[in-house]
Amino acid sequence: MANTLEILAKYWRHTAFRPGQEEIINSVLAGKDTLALLPTGGGKSICFQVPALAQKGLCLVISPLIALMNDQVENLKQRGIKAMAITSAMNWHEIRIAFMNCINGEYKFLYISPERLHTEVFLKNLHDLKISMIAVDEAHCISQWGYDFRPSYLKIAELRDLLPKVPIIALTASATDKVIEDIQQRLEFVKPSVFKSTFARKNLHYIVQYEDDKIGRLFSICNKIEGTGIVYVRNRRKTVEIAEILKQYNIKADFYHAGLKADERQRKQADWINNKTRIIVSTNAFGMGIDKPDVRFVVHMDLPDSLEAYFQEAGRGGRDGNVSYAVLLFQQMDAENLLQSVEQSFPQFDEVKQSYQAIANYFQIAIGAGNGMSFDFNLEVICNNYKLKPVTMFNSIRFLEKEGYLSLQDNGYEQSKVMILFHKQDLYNFEIKHPKFEKVLKGLLRNYGGLFEEHVHINEFVLAKRLLISVPELEDQLRRLTKLEVIEYIPKSQLPKLIFTANRVDAKRLELSPENYKLLKKTAQERADSVIRYATDKNVCRNRLLLTYFDETTIEDCGNCDVCLKRKRDVHNVELHSLSTQILNVLHNHPHKLDDLVSLFYRFDKALVVESINELAEANEIKIDKNKMVKIK
Ligand code: ADP
């Protein structure tokens, strides 16, 4: 077995493990089922990636979001580690090829969507994959108490029967005791071993500010704190408006939300990471998988849905360990708006059924079919077609997701893909017969490897430039070659993917559980209440409040949040007042020199004595006469 530190240095160029990482890695290597709880940015990936590299075999990684998987696979590939993802956004042909390559290609990591776990092709290939460990990322998704429950996660336990000797490592960035218990139970941990590192972020200063003029305050924050920032708002319109206002004041700002095309999102994100944009104003769509160390402030203009979400979003600040501010701007109306938005996220059952029917009809899914199919999803188009309200449709999908019927996902930065379906000799013959395709086919082969074996990422813009043709011309040829079944060209999608996670049922027969509905609504309301409590509490240290929420016990007041600072100021003011009174008493009898007063009040800081004297002088209580302080009668 290779030394884990050597692996860390070889692939990541890090010289030491962060607190907690080594213990987690050792537990996994000892074959124990391990639950690792580390805050966002704490370095969870390394906890399963290093032990996977230290042993033979494949690490199966179950992850809920396609974008997250694509990001991680890209990241591993850049480090020279063989990894691939089998996502719900892929077609059956891609999936089949991917499995074949995975079995033959000595891959180290296979990322897979949980819905793919019980497909025939997976089960058929399971034992040939030679799985050494299973990593369950975002493990809180398995718990109904978690803030992001996904029913497909419940299926993971079935793997235990199929692979009884393979240990599981579950990872999450947020878990209360209840969720921790639930994760272990649902994943059927055999020899459990739980590691929870503190969620305290010492360099993060939490501030809640009651503010009627939020824009004015934001502007002042941007001016006072140097460096990069993220501003979170609840809706897309506001991202545009606020970025515009900041730009008018010469602050390099841009907006970001999930309604933008993938290209545009990628560009905006890159500009921000490379410091071309200083402030990104965004909905909660921004931030996942982003690892920018020097974010100096994260401002929330509206209340988030949960403290889990707040902790994660605010936690994007200060990953480099330097001071960073997490500011929540709040006004009374916000609490009502949040509660109302929780109410709105739970449409009536007949609205949910109507949305389901519209979606299934739009994509022409027959009853009894559809499981595993994925489609580019344009919310506006479907809503216009069926005269439905986008907010109702969106929230209906969210509920149908919890009930295991659909899943709506962003696929992140996946590029277009091409695979050549012909054998080499056939391709050669084809080129001779169809010379007009020769240039593009030769161009593909010259610029990309592995095209006969698997779907390879291509960049149309780069390829067209090299071939001296236009991008539309290239795309047109790739599409034609696909029609002729010479190649398979899968253009990158600009839209989120809608995935059917069960076969279509008659909308009238849709089984929507009122108990689930009630439970989900109740927990959503409780989460909103916790956020409101965080925003309105004036007495408890913010750090303490947050960590108590995550059931952390040994917590100190942070000394840096607005509550702690105010307390320090209050104490300071009381001390100052008491000292001033004592100084006046002394001066009442005789004038004194500064040094004498400092000696007399040696129990106080010299700075406080000076401050007292200055205040008394300003208030015309004392004057300075020949180097001595004199009380004014
Ligand atoms: P998480 O998944 O917990 O949010 P990541 O695994 O993405 O966090 O890690 C966050 C960042 O910390 C990454 O840039 C990663 O390379 C870095 N990191 C992780 N472990 C270490 C370490 N031992 N030393 C230095 N940097 C590390």
395 and 442 part of one domain: no
- Residue 28: strand, helix, or coil: helix
User: Helix H segments across 30-176?
Assistant: 44-54, 66-78, 92-104, 120-125, 158-162
Specify the pLDDT at position 509.
85
Ligand 1 atom nearest 289 alpha carbon: 7
| Residue 598 in domain | yes
Ligand 1 contacts CB of residue 41 (under 6 A) = yes
| Same domain as 173, residue 118 | yes
In a domain, 187, yes or no: yes
Q: Which of 196, 220, 245 finishes a domain?
A: 196
Q: What residue owns the CA closest to ligand 1's atom 23?
A: 17
Q: Are 621 and 593 in a shared domain? A: yes
Contact present, 56 and 215 (Cβ < 8 Å): no
Structure tokens at 183: 């994760």
311 Cβ below 6 A of ligand 1: no
28-37, 103-112, 552-561, 622-631: range with highest mean pLDDT: 28-37
pLDDT at 91: 82
- pTM score, two decimals? 0.82
User: Does residue 406 sit in the same domain as residue 420?
Assistant: no
pLDDT, tens only, 41-87: 788 999 999 999 999 999 999 998 888 898 899 899 999 999 999 98
Q: Candidates 15, 37, 44, 45: which one to mutate for ligand 1, based on the most atoms within 8 Å of Cβ?
A: 45
388 and 324 belong to one structural domain: no
pLDDT tens digits, 316-348: 999 899 999 999 999 989 999 999 999 988 999
- Tell whether 84 and 13 lie within a shared domain: yes
Nearest alpha-carbon partner for 490 in 410, 415, 416, 412: 416
Best residue among 14, 15, 53 to mutate for probing ligand 1's pocket (most ligand atoms within 8 Å of CB) is 14
In the chain, the number of structural domains is 5
Do both 439 and 531 map to the same domain?
A: no
Q: Is residue 555 part of a domain?
A: no
Pocket lining: 174 vs ligand 1, CB cutoff 6 Å = no
Query: pLDDT, tens digit, for every residue of 167-213?
Result: 999 999 877 888 899 999 999 998 889 998 888 888 999 999 999 99
- 207's tokens: 């501030």
Report angle CA 82, 162, 499 to the nearest 5 degrees: 65
Closest ligand 1 atom number to CA of residue 16? 23
Structure tokens at 112: 């897979």
Can you give the residue range of the structural domain that contains 430? 416-490
Q: Using a 6 Å cutoff on CB, does residue 43 contact ligand 1?
A: yes
**Over 363-378, what HEC string results?**
CCCCCCCCCCCEEECC
**What pLDDT score does 104 carry?**
86
- Polymer length in residues for the chain: 633
Residue 275: which CATH number? Answer: 3.40.50.300
- Of all protein residues, the one whose alpha carbon is nearest to atom 26 of ligand 1 is 14
Asked if residue 556 belongs to a domain, the reply is no
**Structure confidence at residue 2 (pLDDT):** 62
Q: Are residues 536 and 573 in the same domain?
A: no
Ligand 1 site, residue 44, Cβ cutoff 6 A: yes
Are 133 and 276 in a shared domain?
no
Q: Is the CB of 17 under 6 A from ligand 1?
A: yes
* Whole-Å CA distances, 271 to 164, 274, 506: 47, 5, 46
| One domain, residues 147 and 28 | yes
Alpha carbon distances (Å) from 442 to 119, 283, 426, 451, 625: 37, 43, 14, 12, 94
Q: Is residue 521 part of a domain?
A: no
Q: How far apart are CA 149 and CA 170, in angstroms?
A: 15
Residue 561 has pLDDT above 70, yes or no: yes
Is residue 618 domain-resident?
Answer: yes
Amino acid in position 247: K
Atom of ligand 1 nearest to the CA of 41: 4
Q: What is the CATH number of the domain that holds 441?
A: 1.10.10
In a domain, 421, yes or no: yes
Are 69 and 178 found together in one domain? yes
Domain identity same for 325 and 424: no
Q: Is the CB of 277 under 6 A from ligand 1?
A: no
Domain boundary among 156, 174, 196: 196
Residue 325 CA to ligand 1 center (angstroms) comes to 21
SS3 140: helix
Q: Is residue 168 a contact partner of residue 187, using CB atoms and an 8 Å limit?
A: yes
Instruction: Quickly state the pLDDT bin for 229 (edges 50, 70, 90).
Output: very high
- What value does the mean pLDDT take over residues 403-415? 81
517 within some domain: no
Confidence of residue 1 (pLDDT cuts 50, 70, 90): low
Angle at 235 between CA 233 and CA 237, to 5 degrees: 110
Q: Mind giving me the DSSP string for 212-280? A: S-HHHHHHHHHHHS-SEEEEE-SSHHHHHHHHHHHHHTT--EEEE-TTS-HHHHHHHHHHHHTTSSSEE
Mutate which of 291, 294, 312 for ligand 1 pocket (most atoms within 8 A of beta carbon): 291
Residue 21 beta carbon below 6 angstroms from any ligand 1 atom: yes
CATH number at residue 572: 1.10.10.10
Task: Give the whole-number percent of the chain exceeding pLDDT 70.
Answer: 99
Ligand 1: which residue has its CA nearest to atom 15?
Answer: 43
- What separation in Å is there between the alpha carbon of 44 and the centre of ligand 1? 7
